[in-house]
Each structure stands twice: as structure tokens, then as C-alpha cells.
Amino acid sequence: MAQFIPTVLFSKVLPGVYDVQSLAMRTVEVYTNTAQVDAYRGAGRPEAIYVLERSMDHAAREIGEGPWALRQRNFVKPN
């Protein structure tokens, strides 16, 4: 069951608060004879948000825009 957290739950929260039109994720799982471990707290959310925000920083640098401006432009719009 430990594989469930970093794959299924991680992918569901990865878009975060941004209007992401397309998302791809590839995982590699390694099986071992040691005891399985699972998330202590957060169920994959802290890792997903870390990846998302680092990606936003990288994208902002690539297009020469400020990171906050890029984030504001891509927030999910209120109804």
C-alpha cells in the first residue's frame, strides 16, 4: 500500500492552485525486502506542492518573467 501515496495521491494534488491544462507524470517503483514505509503526514501533498512550486520557479526563469507574476496569471479563476 505504500506505493499508493507517492503515485495516486501525489498525482491528484500536483496541479495545486494553478490552471494546469496538461500534466504528465512518470514514476519508477523499486521493490525491496525491507519494511514498507508510508507517509507520516500529508499523504503526498507536501512533495507534490514542492515539485509544483519548483516547476513554477523554473518556468518563470525560462520565460524571463517574475515568479509571482507567473503564479498570479495561472491561478485557477474563481467562478
- Tell me the pLDDT tens digit for each residue of 24-46: 877 777 777 887 666 566 667 78
- Domain range spanning residue 11? 4-74
Residue 79 covered by a domain: no
> What's the total number of domains in the chain?
1
Alpha-carbon gap, residue 35 to 72, rounded angstroms: 43
Residue 27 covered by a domain: yes
pTM of the predicted model as reported, rounded to 2 decimal places: 0.70
Q: Quick one: how many helices (H) and strands (E) in the chain?
A: 4, 0
**Predicted local distance difference test score (pLDDT) of residue 26:** 79
- Tell me the pLDDT tens digit for each residue of 44-71: 778 788 888 999 999 999 999 999 999 9
**Predicted local distance difference test score (pLDDT) of residue 46:** 80
